Chain A
Amino acid sequence: AQKVTQAQTEISVVEKEDVTLDCVYETRDTTYYLFWYKQPPSGELVFLIRRNSFDEQNEISGRYSWNFQKSTSSFNFTITASQVVDSAVYFCALSEQDSGTYKYIFGTGTRLKVLA
């Protein structure tokens, strides 16, 4: 069965600290995609990154970096030098081909609070 686990329900850090959000997934497919989204208090979901199952390269984008490890079925997200504007709920999602629709399986989200 497909599943996405974000074990950290809520994390609080002080501004400028680094923080890692964990995401562990389960799938039987060999071809799949992983995503991270940010949901600020205003409610919209902002796309952050997509990674396909054949690309295990880590990625860095500014203060954001992602570590994809197939061996441990994890796709963790690190924010370096966190800022108050990073406060949001972050969702990890898994997408497989399911009748061609590529539905998402979302994790339960991690609420990040960055304190000034």
Chain B
Amino acid sequence: GAVVSQHPSRVICKSGTSVKIECRSLDFQATTMFWYRQFPKKSLMLMATSNEGSKATYEQGVEKDKFLINHASLTLSTLTVTSAHPEDSSFYICSARGSSTGQPQHFGDGTRLSIL
């Protein structure tokens, strides 16, 4: 089945640090990748959608300058949390899907980000 690798799985760092999370589709070409944030015991909240080679589309209320997304190739997207603060602590999950109509999104294992 389709495999999406997300790295790192856990990050603990000091306030003010920028953190980069990588999302790779290992065995298919991901024309679209999605970044989600999940608070404890809550559903997934879509942050942004990115298509390879173009700028990401951010959901309302998500700060573009805070959460930088790059989708440089058909197999790699990155999310950089810039100057992270404790309120950015969360579980971040990426997903990827191919180009065919109705294809499911395949999810990475998530990154647990803790900002001290």
A associates with B: yes
B-contact bits for A81-107, CB 8 A (1 contact / 0 none): 000000000010001010101111011
A62: B residues at CB distance < 8 A: none
A-contact bits for B94-114, CB 8 A (1 contact / 0 none): 010100011111111110100
- The reply to whether the CB of B11 lies closer than 8 angstroms to some CB of chain A is no
The CA-CA distance from A67 to B44 in the complex, in Å, is: 24
Q: How far is the CB of B61 from chain A (nearest CB, A)?
A: 15
Q: How far is the CB of A58 from chain B (nearest CB, A)?
A: 18
- The reply to whether the CB of B74 lies closer than 8 angstroms to some CB of chain A is no
The answer, among A52, A101, A111, for a CB contact under 8 Å with B49, is A101
The answer, among B57, B91, B97, B110, for a CB contact under 8 Å with A102, is B97
Number of A residues, CB within 8 Å of B: 24
B32: A residues at CB distance < 8 A: 101-102
- Interchain CB contact under 8 A, B91 and A35: no
- Interchain CB contact under 8 A, B110 and A108: no
Q: Which of A25-43 contact B (CB under 8 A)?
A: 33, 35, 37, 42-43
The answer, among A35, A99, A103, for a CB contact under 8 Å with B104, is A35
Interface residues on B, range: 20 to 34
The CA-CA distance from A97 to B49 in the complex, in Å, is: 13
The CA-CA distance from A109 to B1 in the complex, in Å, is: 24
A109: B residues at CB distance < 8 A: 42-43
A95: B residues at CB distance < 8 A: 102
Q: Which of B69-112 contact A (CB under 8 A)?
A: 91, 93, 95, 97, 101-110, 112
- Interchain CB contact under 8 A, B108 and A44: yes
- Interchain CB contact under 8 A, A44 and B105: no
Q: How far is the CB of B100 from chain A (nearest CB, A)?
A: 10
Could you name 18 residue pairs across A and B whose Cβ atoms are closer than 8 Å? Answer: A33-B102, A43-B91, A43-B110, A43-B112, A44-B107, A44-B108, A44-B110, A45-B107, A47-B1, A47-B107, A91-B43, A95-B102, A101-B49, A102-B101, A102-B103, A104-B34, A106-B44, A109-B42
A-side residues, CB < 8 A to B, are: 33, 35, 37, 42-47, 50, 52, 91, 95, 97, 99, 101-104, 106-109, 111
Q: Which 3 pairs between the two chains have the least Cβ-Cβ distance?
A: A45-B107, A44-B109, A43-B110
